[in-house]
């Protein structure tokens, strides 16, 4: 099945709210746990979260790693508003900064010590721009963890995944999940992106039937 792009930013306030209200505890805590399992030596420093959405991952991350601070970047004003509310409610404004910018044009005065990104890449029309920017934003040798959906082989297979994992979710969330699966990359495509940018030292894993994860030190 060919990739079918979905809109880059989650700009619709209703869509952003549906996403923020959904229960991603297992997925998001799993992402933070995976980061800690991959990089047990990282206990302090400045960590970037690209496409941070409503900031559930940054909040879980700084709670798990009290020596770290996070900058979350998201291009959607609706999503950043929800992220700001969540960070304020969690009492973490001193450890989580939020920036409403597209990742492709985002810059930092000094490179970060590590970076993470969950479920962003499938939104981006040109994935090479994402990997290129990621490389520029962190110090050489930094740990990165990037995870996203795997594109199924057919629309029917995508619908079967939605039915299996999101049957109890709202119609908006089910629609977005379906569209995201169609916009996602295959493992081979991600490997080709890494090879093209000379990032093949990063390792790809496919931990389940609907995700890929890329991790390692970025040089």
Ligand X SMILES: C[S@@+](CC[C@H](N)C(=O)[O-])C[C@H]1O[C@@H](n2cnc3c(N)ncnc32)[C@H](O)[C@@H]1O
Adjacent-strand bridge partners of 213:
147, 205
From 40-48, 53-61, 188-196, 201-209, span contacting ligand X (CB under 6 A): 53-61
Does position 79 bind ligand X by CB under 6 A? yes
Enumerate residues 170-189 that contact ligand X by CB under 6 A.
none
Enumerate residues 116-135 that contact ligand X by CB under 6 A.
118-120, 123-124
Report the distance separating Cα 27 and Cα 32, nearest Å: 9
Do the Cβ atoms of 146 and 215 come closer than 8 Å? yes
* Residue from 15, 35, 56, 142 in contact with ligand X (CB under 6 A): 56
CB of 112 to ligand X, least distance (A): 15
From 40-48, 62-70, 72-80, 203-211, span contacting ligand X (CB under 6 A): 72-80
Would you call 151 helix, strand, or coil by DSSP?
coil
CA distance readout (Å), 12 to 50, 58, 77, 80, 106: 19, 22, 9, 12, 22
Enumerate residues 4-43 that contact ligand X by CB under 6 A.
8-10, 24, 28
């Amino acid at each position: 099945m060919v990739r079918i792009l979905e809109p880059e930013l989650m700009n619709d306030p209703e869509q952003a709210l549906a996403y923020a209200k959904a229960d991603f505890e297992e997925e998001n805590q799993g992402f933070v746990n995976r980061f800690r399992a991959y990089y047990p030596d990282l206990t302090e420093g400045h960590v970037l979260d690209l496409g941070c959405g409503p900031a559930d991952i940054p909040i879980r991350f700084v709670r798990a790693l009290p020596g770290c601070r996070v900058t979350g970047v998201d291009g959607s004003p609706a999503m950043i508003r929800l992220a700001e509310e969540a960070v304020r409610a969690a009492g973490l404004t001193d450890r989580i900064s939020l920036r409403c910018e597209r990742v492709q044009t985002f810059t930092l005065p000094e490179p970060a010590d590590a970076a993470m990104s969950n479920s962003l890449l499938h939104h981006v029309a040109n994935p090479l721009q994402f990997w290129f920017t990621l490389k520029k934003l962190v110090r050489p040798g930094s740990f990165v963890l990037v995870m996203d959906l795997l594109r199924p082989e057919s629309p029917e297979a995508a619908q079967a995944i939605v039915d299996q994992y999101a049957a109890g979710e709202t119609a908006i969330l089910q629609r977005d999940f379906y569209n995201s699966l169609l916009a996602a990359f295959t493992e081979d495509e991600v490997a080709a992106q890494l090879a093209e940018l000379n990032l093949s030292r990063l390792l790809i894993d496919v931990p389940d039937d609907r995700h890929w994860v890329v991790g390692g030190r970025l040089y």
